[in-house]
Structure 1
Amino acid sequence: MEFLFVYGLFLAKAITIVVAIVVVVGFIVGMASKQKQTSGNLEFESLSEHFDDIKNQAQHVLLSKDELKKLEKEEKKKEKEKKKSSKDEAKKKNLFVLNFNGSMNAQEVEQLREEITAVLCVATKDDEVLVNVESGGGVVHGYGLAASQLQRIKDKQIKLTVSVDKVAASGGYMMACVADHVISAPFAIIGSIGVIAQLPNFNKVLKKNDIEFEQHTAGDFKRTLTMFGENTAEGRAKFKEEIEDVHLMFKDFVKQHRSELDIDKVATGEYWYGQRAKDLNLVDELKTSDDFLMEANNTHKLYAIKYAAKKTLAQKLGFSAYKALEQTFMRLVDAGNKLYR
C-alpha cells in the first residue's frame, strides 16, 4: 500500500508539471501565431580572412622564432609594395559562396533566393559564384524553383560552379546541372534522374471495419489515386502517365544544360559515385569544395553569404519551453525507473 501511495503521489506531481508546461507552451505558440514574422538578416563572412587566420595560426605553431621574424619582415615588405601599387589587389575578382542543404520539401529555397538576390545586387560579370549543394531530392515544384534560382545567376552572365561533397541526386542534380562547371568529391552520390511517387491505401481496412468513404470530384482526373477510396485501373494509368511526363521534363531539362550527356543512359533513376559520374559526364571534375576554395583564394576574394530568418520572441520562448519540457520528461522517466527499482 505504501508503494502505491508513493507512486500515486509521484504520478500526480508528474501530471501536474507536464500539464503546466503544456499550457505555457500552448500560450507561447498562440503568441507566435499572432505575431508577425520579421524579416531576416544577410550575413557576409570573408573566407579569405578565414584562410589567412588558419595559415597564421599554423605558422606560429610550426615555425621557430627566427623563422617567424623572417616571415614577418617579408610580409611587411609585401604590404609596403601593396600600398605603393594596389593594382594586384584591385584586380582580384570576388567569389561568392552559398550553401544549399536541401530537405524533401525544399523549404531552403526561400533562403537561397534571398542569398542569390544579394549576390546579384553587387556582383559583376567578372565575379563568380560557388554553390555547395547537398540534397537527395524532393518535391518537383520546390527543386524546380531552386534550379530556377541558380539560373538567375547564369542569366546575368556570372560564372556559376556547383560543388557536391556528399550527395546531389534527383532534385539535387536538377540544381547541379544548371552550373557552368560541376565538381564532385570522389565518393559523392550523383544522378538519380528519375521520378517516384507513392502513397498507402486504406480502403480495405475501412471496408473491413464497415466504414464508408465518399469522395466527389468535378473532372475525370481531379483525383487519380486516393488513400481512402477504391483506386481504379483508369486512375492508376493516369497517375503513371503524369509521372512519365514529369520524368520526360526532367530529362529534357538536364539535356538542355548538359548536352554532352547520353541522357537515356543516365536517366534510369540510378545514381553513381563521383568517379563513375565523371566518366558519364554528369560532373566535370573530381574535387572537394575545400580544395576549390583554397585554390580560388589565390586569385579571388572569397565571401560566404548566408540568409538567416529572424525568430520572433515568442518563437524563441517556444523553443526554450520545448527544451524544458523535453528535459523535464526525461527526468520524470528517470525518476520513475528509480522508483520501480
Structure 2
Amino acid sequence: MFSFFKKKKIIAHIKLNGVIGNAGKFKQGIDFAGQEEIIEKAFSLKKAKAVAITINSPGGSPVQSHLIYKFIRAQAKKNKIKVIVFAEDVAASGGYLIACAGDEIYANSSSIIGSIGVIYSSFGFTELIKKIGVERRVHTAGKNKSSLDPFQEEKSEDIERLKNIQLDLHKDFIKVVEESRGSKLKKDGIELFSGEFWAGSKSKELGLIDGLGNANEILKEKFGEDVIIKKFEKSKGWLSKKLSSSSNQIDQLANILEERSIWQRYGF
C-alpha cells in the first residue's frame, strides 16, 4: 500500500479569496500575516510536484499584494518548485499582481483579468457641512498633514502629490507584470497598463494568462488522472468566530458595503 501511494503525484493547493488587506474587523480577506504560514506549509510539502494557487480577488492593498507575491516567489525559489495559478471569478488589480507569482496562469473564459493600475477614491463633504451649519476646525504641525481632508476644499498641490505617489505604485505594478510575463505579453495596438480589464479569453490573447481551464482539469492534464491535490486552507478559530458573531452590527454592515464596492468595480 505504501508503494502504491508513493507513485502518485502530489500537488499542494492554496486558495486565496477576498479583498486584499484590511477589509474590516475580523474579516476573512487576504493579507500577508494571515497567509504566510499556509503558504510556507504548502511549499514545504514533501515530494510535491508543484504548488497550485487559486485566486479570487478584485484587489485591495498594494503593499499586502506585493508582500504575498514576493513571499510566494521566494518560497518557489527556495524549494525549487513550480507555481501554477488559477483565477476564478476575478484576478484584478492586486489580485492579478499576486497571480503574477505563478510560472503559469490559467483562468476561466469568463474570468475578469487585469486592471493593472492604481486607484484612490473618496468623497467631498464641504457643501454638506455648510448646509448643516458645521464649522470644520483642523490644527496641524506640518503643512501637509491634512492633505485630502474630505471636509475641506481640494487643493491642487495635494492632488499633484497623490498622483505622483500613484505613478510610483503603478511603475512597481508594471515592473512585476513585465518580469513575470516577459515576452508573452502582446502590447501591439492595446494599452495593457491603463487599468482596463478583460475576460479570460481575451486575456489569453494578450498574454496576461497562459491558458483556459480550472484547477482540477489542468492539474489532471499535467500530472495525470490520479494526481493527489492536497489543500492548505486557513481555518477560522473558535475565538475568531465568537468575536466576529458578537461584533457591532453597524461595523459589520460598513465592512460589507466597503468590500462590496470593491467587487462591484468588476460587475460582481
Aligned to 1:190, what secondary structure does the other structure show? strand
Give the TM-score, by structure 2 length: 0.78
Counterpart amino acid of residue 200 in structure 2: G
Q: Could you tell me whether the CA contact under 8 Å between 1:224 and 1:239 is conserved in 2?
A: no
Q: Could you tell me whether the CA contact under 8 Å between 1:215 and 1:229 is conserved in 2?
A: no
The CA distance in 2 between the partners of 1:177 and 1:290, in whole Å, is 20
1:248 is aligned to: 171
Report the CA distance shift for 1:299/1:193 in structure 2 as closer, same or farther (over 3 A). Answer: same
Counterpart amino acid of residue 109 in structure 2: P
The CA distance in 2 between the partners of 1:210 and 1:174, in whole Å, is 45
What is the number of equivalent residue pairs in this alignment? 237
1:181 is aligned to: 104
Output one character per residue of 1:268-312: Cα deviation in whole Å (capped at 9) or x when no partner: 111111111011000001112231244335363321111213122
The CA distance in 2 between the partners of 1:131 and 1:114, in whole Å, is 14
1:27 is aligned to: none
1:144 is aligned to: 66
Gap regions ≥5 residues in structure 1: 1-81, 324-341
The CA distance in 1 between the partners of 2:50 and 2:195, in whole Å, is 31
2:202 is aligned to: 276
Counterpart amino acid of residue 96 in structure 1: A
Output one character per residue of 1:56-82: Cα deviation in whole Å (capped at 9) or x when no partner: xxxxxxxxxxxxxxxxxxxxxxxxxx7
Aligned with residue 304 of structure 1, among 231, 236, 240: 231
Does the alignment pair 1:265 with 2:191? yes
Q: Could you tell me whether the CA contact under 8 Å between 1:112 and 1:149 is conserved in 2?
A: no
The CA distance in 2 between the partners of 1:275 and 1:153, in whole Å, is 30
Counterpart amino acid of residue 204 in structure 1: E
1:100 is aligned to: 16
Counterpart amino acid of residue 139 in structure 1: S
Gap regions ≥5 residues in structure 2: 23-28, 250-268
The CA distance in 2 between the partners of 1:273 and 1:317, in whole Å, is 38
Aligned with residue 91 of structure 2, among 168, 171, 181: 168
Measured after TM superposition, the shift of residue 202 of structure 1 is 1.0
The CA distance in 1 between the partners of 2:176 and 2:131, in whole Å, is 46
Does the alignment pair 1:233 with 2:156? yes
Aligned with residue 134 of structure 1, among 56, 79, 95: 56
Aligned with residue 158 of structure 1, among 40, 56, 81: 81
Aligned to 2:44, what secondary structure does the other structure show? helix
Report the CA distance shift for 1:317/1:158 in structure 2 as closer, same or farther (over 3 A). Answer: closer
Measured after TM superposition, the shift of residue 320 of structure 1 is 8.0
The CA distance in 2 between the partners of 1:209 and 1:320, in whole Å, is 34
1:198 is aligned to: 121
Report the CA distance shift for 1:158/1:170 in structure 2 as closer, same or farther (over 3 A). Answer: same
Runs of 4+ in 1 over 6 A off after TM superposition: 320-323
Q: Could you tell me whether the CA contact under 8 Å between 1:193 and 1:268 is conserved in 2?
A: yes
Give the TM-score, by structure 1 length: 0.62
Report the CA distance shift for 1:122/1:233 in structure 2 as closer, same or farther (over 3 A). Answer: same
Aligned to 1:308, what secondary structure does the other structure show? coil
Report the CA distance shift for 1:258/1:219 in structure 2 as closer, same or farther (over 3 A). Answer: farther
- Considering fraction of residues, name the structure with more helix: 1
